[in-house]
Amino acid sequence: MNDATAFAPASVGNIGVGFDILGHTIAGPGDRVRARRIDGQEVRIAAIRGNATKLPMDAALNTAGAALIALRDALQLPFGFEIEIDKGIPFGSGMGGSAASAVAALVAANALLDTPLTRAALYPFAMTGEAVASGGRHGDNVGAMLLGGIVLSTADRLVRIAAPDAWHCILVHPEAVVETRHAREALKGAYALGDFVAQSANLALVLCGCHNGDADLVRAGLRDVLVEPRRAALIPGFAQVKQAALDRGSLGASISGAGPSVFAWFDSQAAADAAAAPMRSAFADAGIASESFVSPLNGPAAELVR
């Protein structure tokens, strides 16, 4: 095969209580990358289309390009890649757009290898790719996209977390931008051990709740006491949008990735669907238009599309 195209879905990074390590995919929006094997060892970007005209065409500065350079270097490939990127995920939305381009590029390029790698083996290259945009090496978005569903993504390991099929997420994306590096600056400074203990307890409750299919445990734990308080002010209307979800019976709601998108978990698709109007209305009250997506928590993995 000399030409392959892959699609990587959007994702919710952090999931509130799993900063930098927990994420899940969202069915619907995503990025698409077409890759061709080319002579020589260059990695080059032929085109970027769609939701992100500002993205760098220099492969080393682009998450998709940097991921393929890392793959090429690690495997000492005797050939290169030319890619075309179709951005379906808005820039700076907190929906994992930087990650999706890297993962889609890797899944497409992997299909062109003489001996394709496992998804887990692609993970370090995906982190390297995303790092050129975020400035930090963290796998919560790329890990979820590589395996699908809810994924624990540590420095060197991916673990799928099962959740009941009925559980759904609504992701509300306001027409505003929070750049990842600004969101990271908000986190500078020291932290108290007590806050970490509280957040650890919440993370553990969410993990046990998913494993056990126990919505009450998730409801008790899905509360970000560490990061959300420092970032909430970057998102106009955040408190009201979150409250709108909680008022509708959400298991918990917080900032998706670095924001400004807001996610909320529900124990049924109907409940998630019903939260769309009030959550979007709360953003509208803050003067911001928005769109929303409802997805199973057990969302799709990245995949080849032809």
Site stretch for its own copies (CB under 8 A), options 26-34, 115-123, 154-162, 253-261: 154-162
- Least Cβ distance, residue 186 to its own copies (angstroms): 11
- Could you say which of 198, 225, 274, 304 contacts its own copies (CB under 8 A)? 198
Closer to its own copies by CB, 72 or 219: give it.
Answer: 219
Residues 6+ apart with CB under 8 A from 73: none
CA distance 54 to 184: 20
CA 191 to chain centre: 25
* Segments in 7-90 forming alpha helices (H): 63-75
Site stretch for its own copies (CB under 8 A), options 97-105, 120-128, 202-210, 259-267: 202-210
- Could you say which of 71, 217, 253, 262 contacts its own copies (CB under 8 A)? 217
- Least Cβ distance, residue 90 to its own copies (angstroms): 26
Closest CA to 202 of 239, 254, 145: 254
Q: Return phi, psi of residue 146, to 5°.
A: -70, -40
Asked if residue 113 binds its own copies (CB under 8 A), the reply is no
Half-sphere exposure of residue 195: CA atoms within 13 angstroms, side-chain side: 11
Question: In the sheet that 168-174 helps form, which strands lie side by side, from edge to edge?
Answer: 252-255, 262-266, 168-174, 290-296
Q: Is the preceding peptide bond at 90 cis, omega within 30 degrees of 0?
A: no
CA distance 223 to 220: 8
Over the window 223 to 242, marking each residue x when it contacts its own copies by CB under 8 A and - when it does not, the resulting string is: ---x----------------
Q: Is the dihedral of CA 119, 171, 27, 306 positive or negative?
A: negative
The SS3 assignment for 141 reads: helix
Site stretch for its own copies (CB under 8 A), options 48-56, 123-131, 169-177, 198-206: 198-206
Asked if residue 199 binds its own copies (CB under 8 A), the reply is yes
- Least Cβ distance, residue 136 to its own copies (angstroms): 9
Closer to its own copies by CB, 30 or 139: give it.
Answer: 139
Asked if residue 137 binds its own copies (CB under 8 A), the reply is no
Pairing of strands 22-38, 3-13: antiparallel
- Could you say which of 47, 155, 239, 277 contacts its own copies (CB under 8 A)? 155
- Could you say which of 161, 171, 215, 301 contacts its own copies (CB under 8 A)? 161
Binding site for its own copies (CB under 8 A): 18-22, 138, 152, 154-157, 159, 161, 187, 190-193, 196-205, 207-208, 211, 217, 220-221, 226
